[in-house]
Amino acid sequence: MSEKSETIERLSVFKTYKLYVGGKFPRSESGRVYEVTDSKGKWLANAPQASRKDARDAVVAARKAFGGWAGATAYNRGQVLYRVAEMLEGRRGQFVREVAEAEGLSKAKAAAQVDAAVDRWVWYAGWTDKIAQVVGGGNPVAGPFFNLSSPEPTGVVTVLAPQESSFLGLVSVVAPVIATGNTAVVIASERAPLPALSLGEVLATSDLPGGVVNVLSGRTAEIAAPLAAHQDVNAIDLAGADEALAKELEVAAADNLKRVLRPQPVDDWSATPGLDRITAFLETKTVWHPTGSLGASGSSY
């Protein structure tokens, strides 16, 4: 009697994408999701559609994390950013697939985008303990004083990730914000949010403290509006906003004098970045200290 071998087809395990807020992975409090498709309209996944409450929760988490992250040494922040690059390198294959599907790229072109994004994390990691020397320093004054200027982080920054560059553009706007001690609430690309949501998983398994980066997905205009007007958000990067939305958010942000980084007509995310995105979210603190016999007493103001 012969035994017939049966081939059982294995069912794939579909990934459930979630928000990343405060170091945890909640679903949207509204329970809403929306379909994410590839460049040819093929279904890829259901992404959580964040609500206004999710946005407020992300701001609370970012503010809670700000003190510890801003107070960390610049060298330590550089180590943490480098660790993120290490973790991304280990999950390179996953991101190559997600970027290829999101942007309709060949595997080779998607791999080049992912490699550039990893290199960008390393690039910004190298600037954490150098930016103070570049934008700070001693100022000449007429009088018996030292006058020193040093950069400090602005605070909680809302970042609208680029809509078309789902990963390299995302890294290019998030890394400079946190490199100098700010915390971030990131709105992922509405059309292609999956690489951003997966980045949250990388951040959670690196040494980055929970709340330093919070990732929301959904309808960009719906999430960005309350964040632009939020009194505890200190700055906003409008990289992923179109012209009409950018104007609307600028008006909302003016209510409490937020720093606003406006979208550029053409952003070449593959180009070597300058320091503009680092310095955009820095404040300058100036300290005066007397010299001579008065200075010897240790008095300062």
Among the ranges given (4-8, 51-55, 158-162, 293-297), the one the predictor scored with the smallest mean pLDDT: 293-297
CATH number at residue 177: 3.40.605.10
Q: What is the pLDDT of residue 99?
A: 95
Asked, for residue 93, whether it belongs to a domain, the answer is yes
Specify whether the CB–CB gap between 184 and 178 falls below 8 A: yes
Specify whether the CB–CB gap between 48 and 160 falls below 8 A: no
Give pLDDT tens digits for 221-243.
999 999 999 999 999 999 999 99
Domain extent for 259: 33-296
Number of domains in the chain: 1
Mean pLDDT of 30-41: 91
Asked, for residue 301, whether it belongs to a domain, the answer is no
Give pLDDT tens digits for 84-133.
999 999 999 999 999 999 999 999 999 999 999 999 999 999 999 999 88
Give pLDDT tens digits for 247-262.
999 999 998 888 999 9
Asked, for residue 213, whether it belongs to a domain, the answer is yes
H or E element that contains 48: strand 43-48
Q: How far apart are CA 207 and CA 83, in angstroms?
A: 7
Asked, for residue 230, whether it belongs to a domain, the answer is yes
Asked, for residue 38, whether it belongs to a domain, the answer is yes
Phi-psi region of 185 (alpha: psi -120 to 50; beta: other; left: phi over 0): beta
Residue 288 has pLDDT above 70, yes or no: yes
Of 125 and 144, which is predicted with more confidence?
125
Q: Percent of the chain scored above 70 by pLDDT?
A: 93
Confidence of residue 4 (pLDDT cuts 50, 70, 90): low
Asked, for residue 17, whether it belongs to a domain, the answer is no
Residue 213 has pLDDT above 70, yes or no: yes
Confidence of residue 298 (pLDDT cuts 50, 70, 90): very low
Mean pLDDT of 140-149: 73
Specify whether the CB–CB gap between 144 and 293 falls below 8 A: no
Q: What is the pLDDT of residue 301?
A: 38
Mean pLDDT of 38-48: 92
Structure tokens at 249: 């958010």
Mean pLDDT over each residue of the chain, to the nearest integer? 90
User: How big, in percent rounded to 5, are the helix, strand and coil portions of the chain?
Assistant: 45, 20, 40
Asked, for residue 84, whether it belongs to a domain, the answer is yes
Residue 15 has pLDDT above 90, yes or no: no
Asked, for residue 62, whether it belongs to a domain, the answer is yes
Torsion angles phi and psi, residue 239, rounded to 5: -55, -35
Confidence of residue 292 (pLDDT cuts 50, 70, 90): low
Confidence of residue 300 (pLDDT cuts 50, 70, 90): very low
